[in-house]
Structure 1
Amino acid sequence: MNTKPLSREFYSFMIFFLSISCIMALIQSGALVIIGSQMMGLESFNSWMWLVLFVIAVTNAALVRYLWHNSYRLAAVACVVSTLAVFFHYALILNRELRVFYQEHYHAVAFFLFGTAMLWGLSLVFTKAGEKRWLRLSGIVTVFIEVLLAATFVLYFQTSEGSTKLLIDKVSRWISLLGSLAPVCFVIHFRLENKRLTVTDNVPAQTIPALVKLAAFVGLLFLGFNFSVEAFRYSMPFKPSITDLRRSKAMESYHFVDKSGDSLHYRLLNPLDYDSTKQYPLIVCLHHGGAHGKDNMQQLSADPAPFLMELPTRTKYPAFVFMPQCPKGMGFSGAYGNASVDSLVFRTIRQLQGRLPIDRKRIYVTGISGGGYGSWHFISAHPEMFAAAIPICGGGDPQYGPRLVNVPIWAFHGARDKLAPVAHSRDMIAAIRKAGGHPKYTEYEYAGHGIWDNVKREDIMEWMFAQHKE
């Protein structure tokens, strides 16, 4: 062990950044508890993540210095490995190109994170660092939390029932919140270490550490506040506007319940000048991630729903428009093993077919973002049901390409989409074409995720209504 102790300024620096880490962990875990993975869609998410990475880098660099100085070499190496794993994880989330890799290898990345975090925790328990009570306790807490998270992760993806998945997801969020206890143990440890320091140094405060502390504090004050407020607002109950209420009066509200008790809220728009003696097409309109809930209202304002409800559209293209609302924590596609409401949607469609004059040769599906992924999933699961699909900013599993050869598809995507990687649409189109299909694909070179204004100027309704099953 080095004979010269670290300075009081160093311990003060460590205590400050570990305290900042505790606060940030509570903020982020709190956001995860109240809105789940939807926090990644917040406008402030990226800037918040850069602050998190900055604090992690500074804190763990100082921690490695401390561990190495005290000859806790194995713990220092484990800390470096765990930190690199965390940086790798966030790089996959924040980088548009790398996000495709992340989504395709999500399980492997998750277990890599669990493994490196457990290695870090174990190094604090079973190496020389474990002689320090609070370091050992931090290691125990870390291992315990990671084991619980890994267990809930496995259970989540092994369970097929949506309600059970939601319950497991909620449990894992609260476990993550408990994970903020580990930095608390470090704060206590360094406060005790500082008190035991017998050498009094009169070295004046250095400028660079002071500036780094100031940057972290100011960043937490502003970015942490914005992130917290946005997450809180997102969690608040939806308050419909006058436009929402006006739209809701134009279509009936329904609630489908299956034999197991699972339910689906949806709206149904009848054709203009509806004649029960005629058959009409059915348009399945899937909303994006921002309209999830159980109010049976938000999906009416989520594109492309307003466009389908406009009088010119209804006049020229009379059809039933079915707008299901996906509950929070679920999706339309079940992508990557997540909880899905797809089976309920299909059962509701079959019920509608039994009581309405729906032309079974002209059932269409369209949606944006989460609804785009849902559109790809729906035609992949039941290609025999749909006469055409218009998936926007979505993606699916390319292995289903051969099943979609005979399904008319017109897909859209923005080349600079940061939320839904454009590769997801490209891969689906390439897989279908390789299998002998001829899907249409429009990619906007300079557009991001918000491409609906571009799409609605295309002749999508004319193209869609020209399609029908033989």
Structure 2
Amino acid sequence: MIRIKHFLIYLLVTTAFLSCSNNDDSDTDNTRTFADLQADFSALTFNPGVNDVTLLDFNNFTWNFRVVMPDVDFTDNNRPLIVTLHGYSGGAANAHQFTDCYAEPGFEALDAIILSPNGGDQQWFEPYNQEMVLNLTVLAKQYLPVDGSKVVVNGYSDGGNGAWFFSETHPELYSAGIPMASAYGSYEPDGEARVIPIPVYVIHGENDTLFPLENTQEWVDDTILSGSDVTLVVATGLTHTEPCEYTSYLQDAATWLEAEVW
């Protein structure tokens, strides 16, 4: 089912690209297009530091997200883009605003642009969230000083599952995935683990009781046997409910990106 959902949303995003300039009914049709999103996003001003933004999507619902801009000279200096996905929040309006917990300090050495969307009370592979994450990634690559070869999807808990999902399904957008405290498994009908087509750096707490380490280890072993490039790092002594304590492990992941991926 996840694969089918991905296919439908990919068609939607692709259609938006192909048809946004050919909508002859724009005066009578209330449906927004990708061109509308482009215009709105391109008109935004992003200052160094935290920028909290709301955009209208294709159906006039709101996308709430945060963009953290490094304080650097962007002249001939496009930066990595980190798309970071929060854990399940039950629909908390500020779930995307906890970038100072681990994402900002974890990726600080990269001087990266950090994009943190709010997934509401849905999981990240649900169609609405797929549409938001994919389109925001594309818009950031178009209108922000992003190095398109250095785009990473990261997340914690349900966000970690999202990082796995987008790593598996959208290698054309992301160069690496960094799931944390995740529970994922993607298998073919014959039981063989699917290949994740981009490098993945997995961080998992030793004492995670919600998503036990042995389950993640089993999935990692299976997908490596299928040909995936996956590194699993165990966070000694850490549980599932202390995401901010994973910062040093995320800093090691940033080093991995520079040393082995880019």
The two structures have a TM-score, normalised by structure 1, of 0.41
Q: Amino acid of the residue matched to residue 308 of structure 1?
A: A
Structure 2 gap segments, 5+ residues each: 10-47
Match of 1:409 in 2: 200
**For the structure 1 residues 320 and 419, does the alpha-carbon distance in structure 2 shift closer, same or farther, using more than 3 Å as the test?**
same
Task: State the distance in 1 between where 2:209 and 2:237 align.
Answer: 12
- Matched residues in 1 for 2:85 and 2:176: separation? 14
Residue pair 2:176, 2:261 contacting (<8 A) in 1 also: yes
Matched residue SS, 2:82:
strand
Residue correspondence of structure 1 range 305-320 to structure 2 within 5 A: 305-310=100-105, 314=108, 316-320=109-113
1:364 counterpart = 2:152: yes
**Contact kept in structure 2, 1:418 and 1:449, CA below 8 Å:** yes
For 1:34-71, what per-residue CA distance to the aligned partner results, in whole angstroms no more than 9, with x for missing partners?
xxxxxxxxxxxxxxxxxxxxxxxxxxxxxxxxxxxxxx
d(CA) in 2 for partners of 1:427, 1:453: 25
1:461, distance to aligned residue in structure 2 (A)? 1.5
Does residue 299 of the first structure (1) align with residue 96 of the second (2)?
yes
Q: CA deviation at 1:424?
A: 4.3
Give the drift of 1:300.
2.4
Following superposition, the deviation at residue 377 of structure 1 comes to: 1.1
Q: Which residue of 1 aligns with 2:34?
A: none
What is the Cα deviation at residue 341 of structure 1? 1.1
1:381 aligns with 2:165: no
Give the distance between the partners of 1:403 and 1:341, measured in 2 at CA.
23
Q: Distance in 2 between matches of 1:416 and 1:307?
A: 19
Q: Which has the higher helix share?
A: 1
**How many aligned residue pairs are there?**
213
Identity of aligned pairs, percent?
Answer: 19
Per the TM alignment, residue 450 of structure 1 is displaced from its structure 2 partner at its CA by 3.5
Superposed counterparts of 1:13-412, under 5 Å: 250-290=49-89, 292-294=91-93, 297-301=94-98, 305-310=100-105, 314=108, 316-327=109-120, 329-334=121-126, 341-399=129-187, 401-404=193-196, 406-412=197-203
CA distance in 1 between partners of 2:195 and 2:92 (Å)? 32
Return the alpha-carbon distance in structure 2 between the equivalents of residues 307 and 444 of structure 1: 14
Report the Cα offset of residue 423 of structure 1: 4.5
Are residues 289 and 356 of structure 1, via their aligned partners in 2, closer, same or farther at CA, if it must alter by over 3 Å?
Answer: same
The CA deviation at 1:290 is: 3.3
Question: Could you give the per-residue CA deviations for residues 212-247 of structure 1, whole angstroms, max 9, x where no partner exists?
Answer: xxxxxxxxxxxxxxxxxxxxxxxxxxxxxxxxxxxx
Structure whose residues are more often strand by fraction: 2
- The SS at the match of 1:466 is helix
Amino acid at match of 2:205: G
Residue 226 of structure 1 aligns with which residue?
none
* Pairing 1:438–2:237 present: no
CA 1:457 to 1:291, structure 2 compared with 1: closer, same or farther past 3 Å?
farther
Residues 292, 463 of structure 1: alpha-carbon distance in 2 compared, 3 angstrom cutoff? farther
1:420 aligns to what? Answer: 211
**Counterpart-to-counterpart distance in 1, 2:157 and 2:212:** 10
User: With structure 2 as the length reference, what TM-score do the two structures score?
Assistant: 0.69
Rounded to whole Å, the distance in 2 between the matches of 1:414 and 1:308 is 17
- 3-state DSSP of counterpart to 2:89: helix
Asked if the contact 1:291–1:298 (Cα under 8 Å) also holds between the matched residues in 2, the reply is: no
| Higher alpha-carbon Rg | 1
Which whole-Å deviations, capped at 9, do the CAs of 1:81-138 have from their partners, x for residues lacking one? Answer: xxxxxxxxxxxxxxxxxxxxxxxxxxxxxxxxxxxxxxxxxxxxxxxxxxxxxxxxxx
Relative CO higher for 1 or 2, CA cutoff 8 Å, sep ≥ 6? 2
Q: Determine if contact 2:80/2:110 at 8 Å carries over to the other structure.
A: no
Q: Is the 8 A contact 1:292 1:299 kept in 2?
A: no
2:102–2:246 Cα contact (<8 Å) kept:
no
Give the unaligned 5+ runs of structure 1: 1-156, 162-248
How far apart are the structure 2 equivalents of 1:387 and 1:428? Answer: 21
Q: Distance in 2 between matches of 1:425 and 1:435?
A: 15
Change (3 A) 1:271 1:444: closer
Quote the Cα distance in structure 2 between the aligned partners of 1:394 and 1:383.
19
Task: Evaluate the alpha carbon distance shift between residue 319 and residue 420 of structure 1 in structure 2; reply closer, same or farther with a 3 A threshold.
Answer: same
The two structures, once aligned, show a CA RMSD in angstroms of 3.0
Contact 1:417 1:447 in 2 (8 A): yes
Secondary structure of 1:383 counterpart: coil
